[in-house]
Amino acid sequence: MSTFRNPVGPQSSSVYWRRRLIVGLGLVAVIAIILLIVFGPKASSGPASTSPSAEPSAVASSAPAATNASGVVICDPAKLTLDAATDETTYDENQNPQLSFSITSTMTEPCAIEAGSDIQEFVITSGDDEIWNSTHCQTEGEPRTIELQPGVEVKSSTIEWDRTRSAPDTCESDRPAVTAGGASYHLEVTVGDISSESTKQFLLN
């Protein structure tokens, strides 16, 4: 009795090409993996790099303090205290007030300031009325530089008020005497750009 069997023999060429293609692709994949391992990016052995940060800008050094011709630091007006002063608080009849001022520096080092009579101004008021001004008939003033030590009060020389009302047009004539009998007056002083922080009150009998 004959038995039916599948025929055995050479297979078609397409089967061989498919097999060769699969093998070839597999070989290419293996080669690619090897190349990536050998030549691919390597992890840095050091700490992870970070984006460079901007260098901290150097703190700008403050400008050197200005000095005068003698090399002394010029006073900062904001660190000076100017006080108006009188020699008495109450004046008897025919007693003339002596006016002055004092300056104190709060700086940490000695400093110099221009404080001559050429830039001084003494003003006496009564209420809102300006009674007398030292510059009304001042013919000339003398420049003067004074040196201040930290926290040390420096007093000016005094000028006398003759108890009269001043005006620029009364320099060559007699001036009227001001009211006395216990009248209150206030002195304010200015030296250059610095003014006394408060007025000095006094009475005339």
* The pLDDT of residue 15: 55
| Dmax (CA) of the chain | 170
* The pLDDT of residue 43: 46
Q: How confident is the model at residue 4 (pLDDT cuts 50, 70, 90)?
A: very low
Mean pLDDT across the chain:
83
Give the contacts of 193 (CB within 8 A, at least 6 positions apart): 77
pTM of the model: 0.68
197 close to 84: Cβ distance less than 8 angstroms: no
* Percent of the residues in the chain that have a pLDDT greater than 70, as a whole number: 75
* The pLDDT of residue 58: 46
Q: How confident is the model at residue 1 (pLDDT cuts 50, 70, 90)?
A: very low
Give CA–CA dist 80/105, Å, rounded: 5
Residue 174 pLDDT > 50: yes
Higher-confidence residue of 174 and 130: namely 130
* The pLDDT of residue 40: 64
